[in-house]
Amino acid sequence: MNTREMFKRAIAGGYAIPAFNFNTMEQMQAIVMAAVETKSPVIMQVSKGARNYANATILRYMAEGAVAYAKELGCEHPEIVLHLDHGDSFELCKDCIDMGFSSVMIDGSSLPYEENIALAKKVVDYAHQFDVTVEAELGVLAGVEDEVSSAESHYTKPEEVIDFSTRTGCDSLAISIGTSHGAHKFTPEQCTLVNGVLVPPPLAFDILHEIEKKLPGFPIVLHGSSSVPMDEVNTINQFGGHLEAAIGIPEEQLREASKSAVCKINIDSDSRLAMTAAIRKHLAEHPGDFDPRQYLKPARENMKKMYIHKIVNVLGSNGKLAQ
């Protein structure tokens, strides 16, 4: 399904839909198990990097398998969107639409304003013929997301959002209010030390509220919303990893954002951390194991636990299936 009805209900209900990235079968299984167990709608998203890694055709059929799997797990009417994350060209978006994706993102945020509009409109005009919904982006997030990277962030300018959404016809808008991609969202210097914990600067809720006022009821998307849980980072470092100064977005802030017009929250790095922590721990504790199932099973379990936590305790999308 596309995101249209899902987002309408999420805004009205004051919760957000989880958008989890996947590259592997174990991530896909964990996402589906978590969504079914919590009765949550879910967006399964793949980036250009995921398509390069896993093969576009395989991912597309994995998503179809995800729907069948959700039904097999007892969910009669699963709500699963297959979404392209950070499409960087019309051709890539078209390819995904032609392959059966129900939603795509065209990310022209690094382009000059008028070019961003022209590109997004071209994708919208094509996508809407097939009832595929389109996410566009205004403002730039810092950080590295597969092949998309930017050293600096530029907050979304609220004065541009009406013109942008009207002229592009996009269905949702990704904004920049202080989140960023990856597991190193802030330097320690940008944070304040509170009781021995580094607390990052708060998200720009004033900008979010201004945007909401200008576009009442319009679906807003937050990228870069991993919270980078310290227990996973510590496990990785305890068992041979080396992750320094990994800092994410505090979950209370994401909980607050979920209650607003923010109706899609993107989480990728937390899944990577959960998977890596479980694999490192397993291999360190069982040095004789060499069957991938032995370490991928706890990795899948750990990711599922993390997804359930996000759905229930952060985004509030549990129990929100239409039927």
- The region of 64-72, 151-159, 221-229, 301-309 touching ligand 13P under the rule CB under 6 A is 221-229
Residue 145 binds to ligand 13P (criterion: CB under 6 A): yes
Nearest to 29 by CA among 63, 3, 1, 54: 63
Q: How far is the CB of 212 from ligand 13P (least distance, A)?
A: 20
Number of chain positions touching ligand 13P (CB under 6 A) = 15
Residue with tokens 């078209």: 94
Which residue, 254 or 296, has its beta carbon nearer to ligand 13P?
A: 254
Which residue, 105 or 321, has its beta carbon nearer to ligand 13P?
A: 105
- Nearby residues of 39 by Cβ (< 8 Å), 6 or more positions away: 75, 318, 319, 320, 321
CB 271 within 8 A of CB 227: no
Q: How far is the CB of 174 from ligand 13P (least distance, A)?
A: 8
Residue 178 binds to ligand 13P (criterion: CB under 6 A): no
Among 85, 88, 171, 268, the active-site one is 85
Checking DSSP bridges between strand 192-194 and strand 197-199, what pairing results, if any?
A: antiparallel
Checking DSSP bridges between strand 103-106 and strand 220-222, what pairing results, if any?
A: unpaired
Helix (H) or strand (E) holding 233: helix 230-238
- Nearby residues of 288 by Cβ (< 8 Å), 6 or more positions away: none
CB 31 within 8 A of CB 22: yes
Q: How far is the CB of 208 from ligand 13P (least distance, A)?
A: 16
Of residues 258-297, those binding ligand 13P (CB under 6 A): 266-270
Residue 200 binds to ligand 13P (criterion: CB under 6 A): no
**DSSP single-letter state for residue 111:** S
Find the binder of ligand 13P among 9, 121, 184, 223 (CB under 6 A): 223
Residue 26 binds to ligand 13P (criterion: CB under 6 A): no
Residue 225 binds to ligand 13P (criterion: CB under 6 A): yes
CB 259 within 8 A of CB 218: no
Angle at 266 (CA atoms; ends 80, 5), nearest 5 degrees? 40
Residue 85 binds to ligand 13P (criterion: CB under 6 A): yes
Residue 3 binds to ligand 13P (criterion: CB under 6 A): no
Is 270 designated active site? Answer: no
Query: Which residues of this chain interact with ligand 13P, rule CB under 6 A?
Result: 21, 85-86, 145, 181-182, 223-226, 266-270
Active site (catalytic) residues: 85
